[in-house]
Amino acid sequence: MNRPTEHVETERKYEVGLGFALPDLTGLADGVTMAGPEVEHLAANYYDTADLRLAKAKITLRRRTGGHDAGWHLKLPVSAGTRREMQVPLGDGDTTVPAQLTSLVAEVIRDEPLQIVAVLETRRTVHRLTSADGEDLAEVADDEVTGRVPGREPAAWREVEVELVNGGPDVLAAAGSRLQAAGAWPSSSASKLSRLLGTDSSDIR
């Protein structure tokens, strides 16, 4: 059994209107350029117990196809805007949650089975912010999202995420300032899943 790969994810989310024009983020600092766009089509099934024990613990577990990081993702909270992400490959079409990830949330779910609680489809337009020497500093994702929860009408929205790659918090701050000047505003939802489930009042990540 392969061990999950792990990395720390630090990002900021912004809400935008459907007619929002993503600004050029070139020049956020000396030598910074904005590359792209690259378009990805993502589909993700989110897993939790029927009473949303993972969500209440600020944990997300999904199986996502499409894009450069398709796989099983388990995200564990670290601090505001930062999460520890564990990833396992998709496997051969299996939709059973990998044991490597189930074991990491066993104390949270206890004897409750995991099931699909939401499905999200995203058309993602990606731009990379790079330094003068070609190093990737951050990734800017312009997402058009359709979310579905069993028994509810579909919901659709658009949002922009800025995620650090090798850059520092100054990159996040500068990108955020320019996005807000163009008409974006900090997201009131901690994640796509919490927005879809309507669980932000519980501060679910």
**pLDDT tens digits, 17-34:** 989 999 999 999 889 999
Closest listed residue to residue 48, CA positions, set 36, 35, 57 = 57
Q: Which pLDDT band holds residue 51 (cuts at 50, 70, 90)? A: very high
**83: phi > 0 → left, psi -120 to 50 → alpha, else beta; which?**
beta
Q: Please compute the mean of the pLDDT values over residues 46-75 and round it to a whole number.
A: 93
Model's pTM, two decimal places? 0.88
The alpha-carbon radius of gyration of the chain (Å, integer) is 17
pLDDT confidence bin for 183, thresholds 50/70/90: very high
Residue 1's pLDDT is: 60
> Would you place residue 202 in the very low, low, confident or very high pLDDT band (cuts 50, 70, 90)?
very low
Q: How far apart are CA 195 and CA 188, in angstroms?
A: 8
Tell me the per-residue pLDDT of 126-136, one tens digit each, with 9 for 90 and over. 999 999 999 99
